A and B are shown apart, each in its own frame.
Chain A
Amino acid sequence: MVRGSSDVGGASEPVASEPVAPEPGATADARLVATYALRLGDDALISAQRMGEWIAASPQLEEDVALGNIALDLLGQARTLLSYAGAADGAGRTEDDLAYQRDERDFVNVQLCELPNRDFGFTMARLLVFATYQCELYDRLAGSADETLAAIAAKAVKEVRYHRDHATQWLLRLGDGTDESHARAQAGLDRLWPYVPELFASDELTDQVDRAGIGIDPAALRPGFDAYVEATIAQATLDIPQTRVRHTGGRSGIHTEHLGYILAEMQYLARAHPGAHW
């Protein structure tokens, strides 16, 4: 996001890191929207950062390009969502302030997004889960009473359908492929599964945005998600992991150790050279 557009990335004053507590001047609804948009934006931003790690490291050249494009879509979604969160809470923070000047505890993405890639099978399993979740979410959010969120979602839903298709095709190939690819796809799902419930966890904020018609109660997304993901996993001759372990906390700033390393890399330039842009 450090770049030369005239209206982004040009902050000349370094902004001190501070928790994203809504400003007293903003209305209650504006604060709700800001926090909600920040959650969705952080999910997209951290996912984009992880996906970008595959560029020049994918199993084949076409995949470098595909995953680079998916990362770019997610980054674009993150930019509009963070810009909106920054504008809505009344504190006047830009997308860059929010991306580069917050610490781990201030990020409110789900932990699923921050897990390391390690294996291509894991990355495709995660993309299937995350893109299916995003499809369900954006599909409904396109009808939000908040015009900006509705516009962002209506645009993004078309992009994440391509992401979901891509992950589906790969999971079918890997799951129904060789013993090795099958085992690695299954291991990916197994490693991922304890982090899935957090995507659909309701809390006070999601109850409020849902009631206000601004946002979506994530629990309502689960049936559509299950239908698609379970059918795809079955078709790929893989098994739905049976686990009762569930990791949560991302929405309140509790993260795995991995997020700090992502931020260290992502924020290095902006923190070493405050206000830098080209």
Chain B
Amino acid sequence: MSAPNSGRVGTIRHSRDDAGQPVSRRTVIEPEEIRRLVAQVYDPEIPVLTIDDLGILRDVSVDGETVSVTITPTYSGCPALDTIATDIKRVLHEAGIRRPQVRTVLAPAWTTDWMSDDGKRKLIDFGIAPPGPAVNRRSAVPGPVPLALSLRCPQCGSPRTRELSRFGSTACKSLWVCDECWEPFDHFKAL
């Protein structure tokens, strides 16, 4: 996440005065404020995480009157990306920025290691076990599989859990169940 360029953006805010007449007011918005607005856009699939928590917001650049936001997909086929781009444009429009641009980049590839600690805490509160550190598993002959520490149930905290399916309700999650409280739960897979 690079810092926004310096320079403020002039925006036009449309509202109505006390008599109900439309008024347009030219205001100035600081780059920090623009960044803050974009960072608060939520992931539509995991509505407790912002795109900043998730680590998919890569850059917000302000150049003169142009605001350009760069995001990266979690998985190649992530269907939420179109919605996220639309949501970013909407909050910027509402802030009075004309024609904001949203760009998608693939490199460097997103990893769950970019998820913020705050984001991981929010996941647990939401009932999703957060990802552990991503291991770069190279192609190799099948052999001993490194065992991860068992996941703690986000409901009761028990480590007595097991994987039901490698793939959960979205591409980024797997499905688990707790043998202590019997609650099924999603796990955000390390990638």
Point out residues on A near B: beta carbons under 8 Å: 3-6, 62-63, 65-66, 68-70, 72-77, 79-80, 132, 135-136, 139, 147-148, 150-152, 154-156, 158-159, 161-162, 165-166, 168-169, 224, 227-228, 231-232, 235
Bound Cα distance from A3 to B77, whole angstroms: 13
Name 13 extra pairs, CB < 8 A, besides A65-B167, A69-B170, A232-B142: A6-B85, A62-B165, A62-B167, A62-B175, A72-B75, A77-B77, A150-B107, A155-B76, A155-B106, A159-B75, A159-B76, A165-B166, A169-B166
Bound Cα distance from A75 to B76, whole angstroms: 8
- B118 interfacial by beta-carbon distance below 8 Å: no
Known: A74-B77, A76-B76. A147 touches B167 (CB 8 A): no
- 28 sample A-B contacts, Cβ–Cβ < 8 Å, listed by A number: A3-B82, A6-B85, A62-B164, A62-B167, A63-B165, A65-B175, A66-B165, A66-B167, A69-B170, A72-B171, A73-B76, A75-B77, A76-B76, A80-B76, A139-B138, A151-B107, A152-B76, A154-B108, A155-B73, A155-B106, A156-B76, A159-B75, A168-B142, A169-B166, A224-B139, A228-B139, A228-B140, A235-B142
A151 & B167 in contact (Cβ 8 Å cutoff): no
Point out residues on B near A: beta carbons under 8 Å: 73, 75-79, 82, 85, 105-110, 137-142, 164-171, 175, 189, 191
Looking at B85, B169, B171, which has the most chain A CB atoms within 10 Å of its CB? B171
Looking at A69, A136, A166, which has the most chain B CB atoms within 10 Å of its CB? A69
A139 & B107 in contact (Cβ 8 Å cutoff): no
Name the prevailing secondary structure of the B interface residues: loop
Bound Cα distance from A171 to B167, whole angstroms: 17
Bound Cα distance from A3 to B79, whole angstroms: 11
